[in-house]
Structure 1
Amino acid sequence: MRRFTEGFYGYAFAMLVCLAGVAVFLLVTPQSRTEHIPKIDFSIDVANMRRAAPYQVWSPDPVLPNWVPTSSRKTDGKSADGKPTVTWKLGFATAKRAHALLGQSDEKPQAEFANRMANTDQAGGSIQINGVTWEKRFREDKNQRSLIRFLPDVTLVVTGTAQWDELSALAGSLKQQTKLTP
Structure 2
Amino acid sequence: MRRFTEGFYGYAVALFVCLAAGGCFLLLNPQGDEEHIPRRDYSITVANFGHSVPYQVWAPRQDPAGWIPNSNRIAKGEGGAQVLYLGYATAEREHVMFVQSDEKPAAEFANRMANTNQAAGTQQVDGRPWERRFREDKNQRSLVLALPDVTLVVTGTADWPELGQFAAVLQQRPKG
Shorter chain as denominator, the TM-score bin is 0.7 to 0.9
Counterparts of 1:97 and 1:59, CA distance in 2: 21
Alignment partner of 1:31: what SS?
Answer: coil
Amino acid at match of 2:95: H
> Which of these residues, 126, 129, 140, is aligned with residue 130 of structure 1?
126
Equivalent residue number for residue 173 of structure 1: 169
Shift of 1:31: 1.6
Alpha-carbon distance in 1 for matches of 2:35, 2:60: 24
The counterpart of 2:86, out of the listed 87, 90, 105, is 90
TM-score by length of 2: 0.83
Out of 132, 135, 140, the position equivalent to 1:144 is 140
TM-score, with length taken from structure 1: 0.80
What runs of 5+ residues in structure 1 fail to find an aligned partner? 1-21
SS at match of 1:114: helix
One of 106, 114, 130 as aligned partner of 1:110 = 106
Matched position secondary structure for 2:81? strand
Residues of 1 paired with 2:128 and 2:97: CA distance? 19
Matched AA of 2:156? G
- C-alpha distance 30-112 of structure 1, shift in aligned 2 (>3 A): same
User: Percent sequence identity over matched residues?
Assistant: 55
How far the C-alpha of 1:139 sits from its partner, in A, is: 0.3
* Distance of 1:23 and 1:75 partners within structure 2: 44
Deviation at 1:116, TM superposition (A): 0.5
Letter in 1 for 2:73: R
Post-superposition offset of 1:50: 1.5
SS in 2 for 1:111: helix
Q: Which residue of 2 aligns with 1:101?
A: 97
Question: 1: distance between equivalents of 2:67 and 2:37?
Answer: 10
Q: Distance in 1 between matches of 2:153 and 2:162?
A: 14
Q: How far apart are 1:76 and its partner, in Å?
A: 2.9
Distance 2:107 2:25 in 1: 56
Q: CA deviation at 1:87?
A: 0.7
